[in-house]
Each structure stands twice: as C-alpha cells, then as structure tokens.
Amino acid sequence: MSGTKTFYYFGDDEAYFRTLIGEFKKFSSLQVEFKKVFESEEAKIQSLFLLVNRMKPQCVFIDFSKRSHDYLHLARILIRTLKEKNILVVGLLDYLSPPEVMLEGIATRTALTHIKSAEVFDVVFSVSRLLNAQDSGRQTFATAKYQDQIQGGIPLKVGFINQSGVHVETDLDLNPGEKVNIKHYWQNKRIVPSTEFIVKEVSRKNIFYQFQHAADLDFLFVDELSFNEESTPDEIKTKTTQRDEKVHYHQKILEKWIKENSSSSLEKKAKVLIVDRHFNFYNMQSRTDKHSYNIRCIENLGDIGSTIDRYSPQVIAYSFDKEDEGSPLNTEEELSLLVQGLKLKMGEDLPFLVVFNSRKNSKTLQEELQFPHIVASESEVSVDLLLRMADVFEKKLLSRLPKTNKKPDNVFLKSSHESSLAQFEVKLTIKQLSEVDMIIESERPLQIGTNIHLKKPVEMFINIQATKDTDKAPVYQGIIHCIGEVEKNELRKYINSVIFREHDAKVAAEVEEFKRLNEEKLQEKEAKKAQEEES
C-alpha cells in the first residue's frame, strides 16, 4: 500500500500489541502495518538487529518488560548503529519494571519510553508527532496557558571518575571553562555535595556511548561562595576558610571511595571496530557488550577521519564487499583511504588491521599499503579470530603499563550501575500544558530529540521538538512520555486546576468590575440628588 509505514513490536504482550494496532487505526492518520516478533534467547535477540537493518521499518517498539538487559542492548546497538536511517525506537515498560530500566532506556537514547497501560492514545500522539509533525492524532486535549519556572534534567552518561572529576558523554554543546550544574551519584551519597562543575575539556574523540561529545568536568566539591557589597573582609575570610576546609574534607572522602572501588573498575582497554555491511558480529553471537573488549560494528567507514576519532580503534576488521552485492561500500580504494587516515591520525600507535573476503594475501596487502599490521583472510568475518587478536592487543597494552604501586587513578563505571547515570540541570519555563505535550522556554538552546526529566508538575520525561513560536528565547514543544497512570491523573487534575483558576480569576475580576461600576453609578446618583436639593 502506497504510503504505508512498517512498525515492529519486539515483545510478547499480545493484549498490548492488539490495543496498539487498534489505537493507531482510531487516532492516527498514518497507514501502519504492524509486525510482532519475540525472542527469548540472548543471541536471537541481538540478531533482531539484522531484521531491522534489512527491513528498515519507520518505528520499532522494544518491550523491556522481559529480558530487560538483552532488549536494552538491542535498543542500544540499533540507535548507535542505524542513526542515519532515521528509525524511531520506542521503549515500553510495565509497572513492575525497575526504575533503573527506565533510566537506562532513556540514557540509551530511545526517542520515547512509555509505560504500558489501557490508555494508548499518548503513544499514538507522540509517535505520530515524531514521524510526521503534521499528524498529532485526531484528539484534542484541554490546554492550560500559564507561566511556571521549573528545573529539568538532561540525562548523560558518566564513563569514569577520578580525584579531580568525571568523564561524561552528552549531546550538549559545552565550552571549556563553563560552569555547569549536574546531579550525580556522589552528590546523592553526600561524598561530593555540590552539583557544580567546571568544564575542563570537550572532545568528539574516543566516544563509548551513543552521544556526540565527551567532556571532562572538574568537581567544585562545595558550591562557590557569593558575596555582596555589605560583606566585610573578616566575613569573606571566615567563610572562605570554612569552604576550603569542607572541600578538603570531601576530597578525602572521595579519595577513600575511589580506593574502595578501584578493584571493580571496568575499563575495556582493547577497542575493536568492525566494518562489515552484513553485521556478522550480531548474527547469532553472544552480546557484544559482554566481551572484555569495546566492540563497535558499522556498515561502512563514512567520513574516515571522524570515524577514527570517534572509535580510536586498536583492532579493525574490514570486510570487502563481494562483487554481486550491488553498489559496493567497502572496497580496496576505501581500505587505502582508511590506512592513510590511520597513519595521519594515530601516528606510531597503529592498530591491527584484519581484512576479510580478501583476494590478496597478507604480504601483498602489507606491501601495497605500506602497513605492516595487516592480516588478510579469504573468509567472511570471523568472530573467533577477532577476539583472539583483541586478546593479543590487550596483553600487549598491559605489558607496556609500569608495574608500580601508584594510587588508583580512573575508576571506570559499569554502564548499568546507577553511578553511570547523571543529569545536566537546565532551567525551563512552562508556557502551555496539556496531558500529552507542553510548550516550554529554555535558558539555553536544546537539541531537537533531547529527552528531559521533569519532577513538576508530575514526574515525567519530555522529548524536545521544534515549534513555530518566534519568541526571542529558545521555545520548544515537549512531547510527554515515561508517565504512569497515577501521574497522568494527577497531571489532568493539575491542568484543570490551572484552567479553572484562570476562569475563576476572570469571573472574580468581572464581578469586581461590576461592583466598581455600580458604586460609581450610585455615587453619581447621590451627587446629582444633592445638587438638585441645593438648587
């Protein structure tokens, strides 16, 4: 059917799947063909990536209610790898799902995450809006127009911590020297009580998660002091000394935490990049994130310089396309450009390069490309061979490390641990609110598609979309998601209270105006009567 969109649902909740189909037919003008798939084994779940890559649906619903970590991994590799194909990934939870699954789903950068319930119109509204700005469903909702300043939190991931600060990944445009506020694990534990950081360095290199930027942030430990004109020199000196003492105290507490947790540090030293249009590493294999290496799979090199910067690989698998595969992506010419880029970008720290589907042997490629670290193979991508080479490289790295008893430095955090999740604080003003969306004004520009955590007027997330508003400050539409039935009812009550508050205030103002006019008329009559009696 012309114009029909394909939606996949990965899960086994048949009742919810049927409701989803029915609600889209009722409330959206989109023509949708739904397909349901469920797998319960790790390797088969990861292999669903191949199905999505091949069929290229417009939207994929991934139900995290069962096999949560396996399906979170699937969402992660879909979002990270197929970003350019504009596939909308929507997470689904039920009321028994742990809160950390929801937060990890958001940090994985699912566009939307919905809590399954009997009401599905908000799912229809949000998906329709993100796929087609003109189609927001066929329902209208009560809307309150008012002004309310609130605080929002933009999720980011923390890669590691050290005595000075944290290394994070984010889509925010941060600038070195900028002071930012970030809610984090060590603040919640009162180890580092301040949310204030100074941005030390920002980079697009060596990215681990699916964000655009990496940044090193220095702790301030205790909020900076502010003084006014009435502050005396003695007051300034006393408060500064007290703050310095608090900073020193919390530095010691953090040092203790780092020592205690250094043994669980999870740095993946060997980074493996696989360039393979068939994504064989996802085909009936164990989850890539379970290996002790950082494994990333891409279809082709794209911008070679940016690819090298982003992944900073130590082992690269490069699979030549076969001649009968249509327009080739990965060719000898591209391999030659890759080698040139590696020499330019990585200097003497050149990676191992394993070439698959090669008609030339290792020695020939080494001589032609002037690159000694090449191994060639006639076969398809071999998972076992790559893992063996990553193991060799990791041992090579370990042998270079000095065998000293130096203090623990960076503690690398497990991606599923709560310490790896943080939120960048941003000030917002709600200008308009319904039960499915809001219009907000932001103190700083926001990237379209950003998810923001709100606790007012109820606990929820909003997905940032553009509006036609022409105000000077950045103004956006926020699509509401991650909201349960209880919170949704509270939101409806709140909206009604604002609407009726405005209505009641208007009525009261009209009554007061009526009284004032009556009083004026009465005074005019009395003045006229007095004037007549005098004459």
**What letter would DSSP give residue 434?**
-
Q: Which residue matches tokens 């919810």?
A: 16
Over residues 466-491, the pLDDT tens digits come to 987 655 678 999 999 999 889 999 99
Mean pLDDT of 500-518: 63
What pLDDT score was predicted for residue 329? 83
Give the alpha-carbon dihedral of 24, 25, 29, 34, to 10 degrees.
Answer: 60
62, β-bridge pairs: 10, 91
Give the C-alpha distances (Å, rounded to integers) separating 346 from 179, 302, 308, 534. Answer: 32, 18, 9, 105
What pLDDT score was predicted for residue 407? 44
State how far the Cα of 272 lies from the Cα of 317, in Å rounded to an integer. 8
Over residues 146-201, the pLDDT tens digits come to 999 999 999 999 999 999 999 999 999 999 999 999 999 999 999 999 999 999 99
Mean pLDDT of 192-214: 92
What pLDDT score was predicted for residue 533? 65
Start-to-end Cα distance in the chain:
92
Segments in 192-266 forming alpha helices (H): 233-261
State how far the Cα of 93 lies from the Cα of 101, in Å rounded to an integer. 8
Name the band, by pLDDT with cuts 50, 70 and 90, for residue 75.
very high
Over residues 322-354, the pLDDT tens digits come to 876 667 788 999 999 999 999 998 887 888 898
What pLDDT score was predicted for residue 62? 97
Tokens of 296: 């990333």
Least confident stretch, 157-161, 439-443, 504-508, 521-525: 504-508
State how far the Cα of 168 lies from the Cα of 54, in Å rounded to an integer. 33
Please tell me the total number of residues recorded for the chain in this structure. 535
What pLDDT score was predicted for residue 398? 55
Least confident stretch, 41-45, 363-367, 505-509: 505-509
- Which candidate, 505, 445, 452, places its Cα nearest to that of 475? 445
In the chain, pLDDT over 90 holds for what percent of residues?
56
What pLDDT score was predicted for residue 457? 93
Give the C-alpha distances (Å, rounded to integers) separating 534 from 20, 182, 521, 524. Answer: 83, 77, 20, 16
- Which candidate, 17, 3, 19, 90, places its Cα nearest to that of 52? 90
Mean pLDDT of 291-315: 89
Helix or strand or coil: residue 292?
coil
3-class SS string, 441-510: EECCCCCCCCEEEECCCCCEEEEEEECCCCCCCCEEEEEEECCCHHHHHHHHHHHHHHHHHHHHHHHHHH
Tokens of 215: 């940044």
Mean pLDDT of 20-47: 92
The CATH superfamily label for domain 271-407 reads Response regulator (3.40.50.2300)
- Which candidate, 48, 41, 125, 137, places its Cα nearest to that of 87? 48
What pLDDT score was predicted for residue 60? 97
3-class SS string, 133-185: CCCCCCCCCCCEEEEEEEEEEEEEEEEEECCCEEEEEECCCCCCCCEEEEECH
Residues 6+ apart with CB under 8 A from 429: 147, 148, 149, 150, 440, 441
Mean pLDDT of 20-33: 89
Name the band, by pLDDT with cuts 50, 70 and 90, for residue 404.
very low
Residues 6+ apart with CB under 8 A from 491: 435, 457, 458, 460, 480, 483
pLDDT: which is higher, 330 or 519: 330
pLDDT: which is higher, 236 or 160: 160
Secondary structure tally for the chain: helices H, strands E: 12, 21
The CATH superfamily label for domain 1-139 reads Response regulator (3.40.50.2300)
What pLDDT score was predicted for residue 322? 81
Mean pLDDT of 106-119: 90
Res. 144: pLDDT tops 50: yes
Nearest-Å Rg of the Cα atoms of the chain is 29
Tokens of 459: 């606990």
Over residues 430-468, the pLDDT tens digits come to 999 999 999 999 988 899 999 999 999 999 999 999 987
pLDDT: which is higher, 39 or 527: 39
Tokens of 69: 């970590």
Q: Which residues of the chain does CATH 3.40.50.2300 include?
A: 1-139, 271-407
Res. 138: pLDDT tops 60: no
State how far the Cα of 287 lies from the Cα of 74, in Å rounded to an integer. 9
Contact yes or no for 119/26 (Cβ under 8 A): no
pLDDT: which is higher, 373 or 192: 192
Least confident stretch, 52-66, 90-104, 310-324, 384-398: 384-398
Give the C-alpha distances (Å, rounded to integers) separating 360 from 239, 320, 330. Answer: 72, 11, 15
State the chain's mean pLDDT as an integer. 87
Name the band, by pLDDT with cuts 50, 70 and 90, for residue 514.
low
What pLDDT score was predicted for residue 406? 44
Res. 278: pLDDT tops 60: yes
Q: Cα 325 to chain center, whole Å?
A: 35
What percent of the residues of the chain are helix, what percent strand, and what percent coil, each to the nearest 5?
40, 25, 35
